[in-house]
Structures are given as C-alpha cells and as structure tokens.
Amino acid sequence: MPGDSIEAKTRYQVDYAGVSQGENRQPENNGFPAKPLLHTPKLSDAKGQLFITAATRSSRSGGQDAAQMAAQIIRENYYSYPSNDIQFCLKRAFDIANRQIYLHAKANGSYRKFKASASALVVTDSRAYFAHIGDCRIYRIQGDAIELLTREQTRSPELPVAEPPPAPEKKTPAIRLLTRSLGLKLGVKVEVSHSLAVGHDDHFVLCSSDFKNITEGELKEVVLSAPAPQACEQLLSLARQRGGRDDAAIQIVTISNPPPAPPVEIIAEIQEPAARFRFRAEHLLVFLLLAIVAMLLYQPVRDNLLGMATKRLQQIAATGNEMLSGEETENLLLQRGEQYLDDEQWDQALEQFQAILRINEESPAALNGIALVREAYEYRGERAFRQKDWKNAALYYSKLVNLNPDEPHLRQRLAESRRNLEVRANLAGTPAAASRNSDAQPQRPPDSDDFSLTIVDGIQRAQWEMPGLYETEDYRLGVGYITFFDNLRIKKAFHQGSYLGLEAEASAKVLSASGGGRYGIIFGHDAEAPSSAKNFYIFLIDQEGQFILQHIAADKVKTLVSDPIKPGILSASRAVHLKVKSVDNNILLYANGELLKMVSLPQPAIGGVGMYVDPRMSVEFSRFKISPAQFR
C-alpha cells in the first residue's frame, strides 16, 4: 500500500503505509498475504479509522483463505454494527469472524487446520484501541520508547520424553503452536484493549509474526529514520533475511500534526484621515452584520424562524401555491429536518419529515429521517425503562406507539411504564415505597399476597440481556417468549434486576435436541462480578430425566444436587414448567408443580434471574414470571 494520510479535523494527521510479499510466496506456503486493509471514513468519525493485519499458517479450504476471510469479516462487521462503542464493535467483529471461519472449516473437513491470527487497530482523533488474537503483533513507539502492546498466544509443542528428537543438522526457527486463533474453536477469547491516548509523533506498527526476529531497537530505529513506505520495505527485507515467510506483512501508522496553514502577507499603508474614517465605517458595518448573524444563530430566535418557515412551507404545499415548486419545498423541509436532527430536536425533525411525505409519499430521505427519529425515541425509551425512569419511558413509548401503532411490544411497554408511574405516584412519600424504589439494595418483596410492585409477568425485550448472542442466529425474542436455536453455542439470557426472596418460573418446551443437553433457570446472578456471565446458581433438567442444581463461578462449577425426577412428573406435558423458590438460605426446586428438592445454601442467593440452554438444543421459554416467595 503506498503512503497516504488522513486528516483528523485540524488536530492530527495520520500517515500510513503497508507492504506484503504474498504474491511471491512459494508453492508450499499457501498463506494469504496479510495485506493491510483500510476503511475510508474520516478519522474524526465516531468509529475512527481501522487498520488490520491478518496471517495464517494453514492451507486454503474450499477455495477460501483464513486470513483473507478474517480481515474481510472484521472490517465489514466493525463498521456495519450501529454502535459507537469501539471496544464492543471490535470484539463483536472478531467473534463473528471466528464463528464463520470455524463453521467454514467444519463444513470443508479442515477443522483445526483452517485458522488465522489477526490484529486490528482503531485510531480516532484522540484515542486508539486494538484487538488481537494469535501471533500477529502491534508495537507502539512514543519518542525513544517502544512497547509491544500484544501478547503472542503460542506455546512450545510437547515432545516425547523417552525419545528426544535428534539435533538438527542446521539451525531452524523454533516452531510454536497457536493457543488462540480465529477458527480454532467457538467462544475463543479475544484480547481487546482499553483506550490509549494518542499524541503527536506516535507510531503504531502492525505486523505478522515473521518480524519477531527483528529486535525492538532495530524496529524503532528504522521507523524513526525513514518515511513510512521506505521503513516498511526495509523491515520486510530484514525480516525475510532472518527467516520470515514470503507472505510476511507490515504496516506503519504515524500520528503527526497537520501541516501549518500558508502565511498571510499583511501590507500596511498610511492613509488620509478620511480614508481611516471609511475604514472604521466599514468595520462598523461588518460588526453589525456579525451581530445580526449571531442573533439568527441564537437558539430561540432560530427555532422561531425555522417554525415560521415550516408553517409557510406547509401552507404552500397544502394550497398548491406555485411560488415554490414541490421539489423546492421538499428540499427546504429536508434541510430543516436534518438541522433539527443535528440538534437532537426529534419532535421538530419529525414534523419536517412528515410534511415532506404529504408532498411526496415515497421520499427516501423523509422515510430515513423518520426511521432515525424512531431509533432515537426507542433508545431513550429503553434507557429510561432500564433506569426505572417511568415518566420519560412512558413519554418516549407513547411517541413510538403513535409512529408504530401495530407493534404489540411497544404498547406493552407503554402500558407497563404508565402502570409503574401510577403505582410510584400513589405510594410516593411512604417509607415502604422509599425502600422498594431504592436502586442501591436488592428488591425484597413483602409477605402480603396482594403485593405486585416487583412481579414480572411475561417476557419483554427491554428487560433482557443476551451476552455474546446474536438475534436471528442464536435466538428469537417475540412477545411473551424466547426461542433459543439449535447450534454450537451455549445460550444464556439474563433478566435485569436483583432480588432477595423470590419465585422465578417459566415454561420450557424442547423443540429439538440433536446432542442431548440440558436447559433451565438461572438465579442468584451477580451482575456486578468481574465475570458476570459466570457467577450464578442454575436449576437444570436434562434429556435423561435428571434434575441438577449447580453453582457456576468464574473458576469452577460445583454440583450441589443431581437426582432423577420421579416417574410421571414429566410425562403429563411436553412442556415443563420450572420454578425456583428462594426463601432465606433455602432453595426449593419444582417441575410441573411438584417439589423435587429443598436445598440449604451457606447464604441467601441474592441476584438476578435468567435462562440457560446447552449447545445443540432448541428450547422455547414462555410464561416467565418473578413474584414474592411464599411458603404454602
């Protein structure tokens, strides 16, 4: 790749270059050249600039190359996901690449042979982020210091003790095996960095493992002494001299200050008093013009003028006045709508786009604008719902229902928000309400049978989190149910909220079970733990008629109960209604209304609830409910 540059507003300029010799690889080396891939948006965009280096030691499979697949999938999925959370988008893109390469290898008989290493760097106008798996490398050079940011995820091969291999006749590079790579297995862990501050004269070097025989001092000296394109060529030549493969690749990213603006020549001349007076008068005129522009840009004045213009344009559109053509009116309304979008004034933007649709029912720009407004309403509504800000949740869901009256889940959330708002208003000021509305403590339902504040009845999208799962690939979330699909992933869904003393229940129907497996209810989930997806209790049913109670921790799994279910309990219905009752230190397990076991724990199970399904099973959960625990 030839040297080029990207400007980040006026703060920094990024120079980059990369080279690869993949086209010269020998017949026995079928690795894809880890060419740097570049996306085109400006550095000042929210998701920044993405640089990728990928390499493989494996052969081609089904006409595909693992490194080529990895780089392409990571690039496409990083930019396509509608989020500005760079770390999450990087991790998600690597996860999708790993899954697709793994499935491709399984389908083409290349399991554990078709895999790739990859390192990706994202640079924004002030920060840098990286993700890494395998043995590719990322270095950072700041001033005279150089740092290897990534860890090589390899190990030495295990050799037989009884018959050590004979000494080689000539010195060969030590072979190391990858412990992590894309396509090696599902659920592989990807290293994702925290944000790094970038500054003037920072250099990042992305390269394949072929450059590990170049010392950090040599690498730093070459990078700092030559422009990026020449430095890449010099380092590639040095790597090949020291045993690097023909598909070795490297790219250099340099942060620098943008070039200064050309100087402005100022010529002073002596003028007569009248001329000086004219100059001052012109200055005053310019000042008045700037004052008028500032007044127009003042928010209330501008909004008033925009409102007047909008009403006038709508009158023109309604009366057929030919003073403006339909296309001119549409363009003016579109400008107003886009300005309101930039200012995050969603209601006013919606008015503009709806006015356009009255002129042109099929306007793509207006339909897209309304979709953006809807996304803004939905984002704010869900955030308010999760924060239990029922007033704003009801406000935004009301607007969403007006836009989409035929969507049942929006009406359901609106009704629930209004109900919770009414309950909070009725109980405002009472000590019990203050205790129940505190977010600092787990919710403990009182003993009265008519208590309903903490009851969750049904499955609602905004209340669930599916870490590491993707809708349409791993699950379907409908109105009142969640269906987990039969694939190679472990499925865990967590309901938001923390409880002490509860009954959690759900009906589970096994749709398919190609590999046997288990399914059940999660409870006591500690969402604040460092490994939040591995800190909970789980009540499971397997395909052999056993029920199991386990405690899942980050470093171990402890089985507390594993017993057969009595005959007749599971035969009444294909669906199994599971229930977990937590009262103080006691856990009661039920299936189809029958008590299976009561277990005493060392301490109460405080936390959230959820659902679990093993790989190679498809299970549908419905009739989900959380209510106060009662002894009956």
Q: What is the pLDDT of residues 561-582, one digit of tens each?
A: 999 998 888 865 578 999 999 8
Nearest-angstrom CA–CA distance, 513 and 618 = 6
Closest among 172, 236, 241 to 208, alpha carbons compared: 236
Domain ranges of the chain: 4-155+176-256, 278-360, 387-436, 456-628
Nearest-angstrom CA–CA distance, 296 and 176 = 67
The CATH number that domain 456-628 falls under is: 2.60.120.560
E strand or H helix at 449: none
Taking the CA atoms of residue 524, residue 527, residue 530 and residue 534 in that order, the dihedral angle to the nearest 10 degrees is 50
Contact 56, 65 (CB under 8 A): yes
So what's the pLDDT on residue 524?
A: 86
Tokens coding 441: 């403590």
Give the distance, in angstroms, between the CA of residue 571 and the centroid of all CA atoms in the same chain: 42
DSSP 170: S
The residue count for the chain:
632
Mean pLDDT of 407-429: 74
Collapsed DSSP state (helix, strand, coil) of residue 146:
strand
Nearest-angstrom CA–CA distance, 128 and 145 = 17
% of the chain exceeding 70 in pLDDT: 72
Strand partners, 15: 5, 254
End-to-end, the C-alpha distance of the chain in Å comes to 73
- With a CB cutoff of 8 Å and minimum separation 6, the contacts of 180 are 133, 134, 153, 188, 189
What pTM does this model have? Answer: 0.42
Question: Does the structure show a pLDDT above 70 at 186?
Answer: yes
β-pairing, 127-133 vs 137-142, is unpaired
What are the CA-CA distances from residue 25 to residues 2, 28, 456, 530, 571 (Å)? 21, 8, 62, 45, 63
So what's the pLDDT on residue 620?
A: 92
So what's the pLDDT on residue 148?
A: 92
Question: Does the structure show a pLDDT above 50 at 304?
Answer: yes
Collapsed DSSP state (helix, strand, coil) of residue 622:
strand
β-pairing, 491-495 vs 464-465, is antiparallel
Strand partners, 207: 137, 250
Nearest-angstrom CA–CA distance, 437 and 417 = 14
**Average pLDDT value for the chain:** 76
Contact 105, 113 (CB under 8 A): yes
Nearest-angstrom CA–CA distance, 13 and 253 = 10
- With a CB cutoff of 8 Å and minimum separation 6, the contacts of 403 are 370, 373, 374, 377
Phi then psi for residue 292, to 5 deg, are -65, -45
Q: What is the pLDDT of residues 91-109, one digit of tens each?
A: 889 988 988 888 888 888 7
**Sign of torsion, CA 455 461 465 469?**
positive
So what's the pLDDT on residue 598?
A: 92
Rg (CA), the chain: 32
Nearest-angstrom CA–CA distance, 612 and 186 = 18
Mean pLDDT of 371-398: 86
Map tokens 């693992």 to a residue. Answer: 66
Nearest-angstrom CA–CA distance, 330 and 358 = 10
Which pLDDT band holds residue 220 (cuts at 50, 70, 90)?
very high
Among 470-474, 525-529, 611-615, name the most confident range. 611-615
Contact 305, 295 (CB under 8 A): no
Closest among 443, 584, 588, 610 to 519, alpha carbons compared: 610
So what's the pLDDT on residue 64?
A: 60
Q: What is the pLDDT of residues 324-356, one digit of tens each?
A: 566 777 778 888 888 888 778 888 888 888 888
Contact 235, 222 (CB under 8 A): yes
Q: What is the pLDDT of residues 44-85, one digit of tens each?
A: 577 888 999 988 866 565 446 788 889 889 988 888 877 788
Superfamily designation of domain 4-155+176-256: PPM-type phosphatase domain (3.60.40.10)
Q: What is the pLDDT of residues 255-297, one digit of tens each?
A: 887 666 665 554 444 444 444 444 455 666 777 777 777 666 6
So what's the pLDDT on residue 497?
A: 74
- With a CB cutoff of 8 Å and minimum separation 6, the contacts of 32 are 22, 54, 55, 56, 65, 66, 67, 68, 247
